[in-house]
Chain A
Amino acid sequence: GAVVSQHPSRVICKSGTSVKIECRSLDFQATTMFWYRQFPKQSLMLMATSNEGSKATYEQGVEKDKFLINHASLTLSTLTVTSAHPEDSSFYICSATGTGGHTGELFFGEGSRLTVL
């Protein structure tokens, strides 16, 4: 099956710094990518929908200036957590839908665990 890769899988940073998380589709063109956040013992909450070449659509309550999403190519989307604070510590997961042989399928990345000290 298709693979969606996230990097880094774990990151620890100091409060006030920015962290970038990459989500790559390795063997298909991802026309749409989704970014989710999962706090401990809670479910996945959609943060934003990202379409290649256009601005991301953010869910209500998600600060677009704090969580910068870029989807500049059909294989890469990035999430940058700017001026991170301890409350941003969470498990961030991307998913992607594609074209061609993978039309209509949804693939999840492995997730990135962010810890802000």
Chain B
Amino acid sequence: QKEVEQNSGPLSVPEGAIASLNCTYSDRGSQSFFWYRQYSGKSPELIMSIYSNGDKEDGRFTAQLNKASQYVSLLIRDSQPSDSATYLCAVQEGGTSYGKLTFGQGTILTVHP
């Protein structure tokens, strides 16, 4: 059973702080990794995608991937109350068709003013 595990939440950070979200996956052959943000009652929206080891930065968001450790993380700098949502880590397992994702259970982030 392929698994994607996220650090247990909920996570609460003050406005302006860095929020750190972590995810591990079991399938060593996985090639594509995604972070989605989901507001209550809404469908997920893509925040970041990462395919290679190392860091990828996009604005206030930085994704980090370490395939040897089977670990992917998301850092949110200068956190804002509008960042409060559930963050989902998703992995495309090796050998599967593009778009077939396994999601983690999600981490609820609350950014308080």
Contact = CB atoms under 8 A, between A and B. Distances in A.
Interface of A: 32, 34, 42-46, 49, 91, 93, 95-97, 104, 106, 108-111, 113
Contacts of A45: 103
Interface string B4-33: 000000000000000000000000000000
Contact of B104 (A43, A95, A96, A113): A43
A43 B100 contact: no
Interface SS of chain A: helix, strand, loop or mixed?
strand
Contact of A44 (B41, B45, B103): B103
Contact of A43 (B42, B43, B88, B98): B88
Interface residues of B, number: 17
B100 A109 contact: no
Contact of B42 (A32, A106, A110): A110
B99 A97 contact: yes
Contacts of B43: 93, 108-111
Contacts of B80: none
B103 A97 contact: no
Given A43-B104, A111-B43, 7 more contacts: A34-B99, A43-B103, A44-B101, A44-B103, A46-B102, A106-B46, A109-B43
B45 A43 contact: no
A104 B42 contact: no
Given A42-B105, A43-B88, A108 B100 contact: no
Nearest to B34: A106
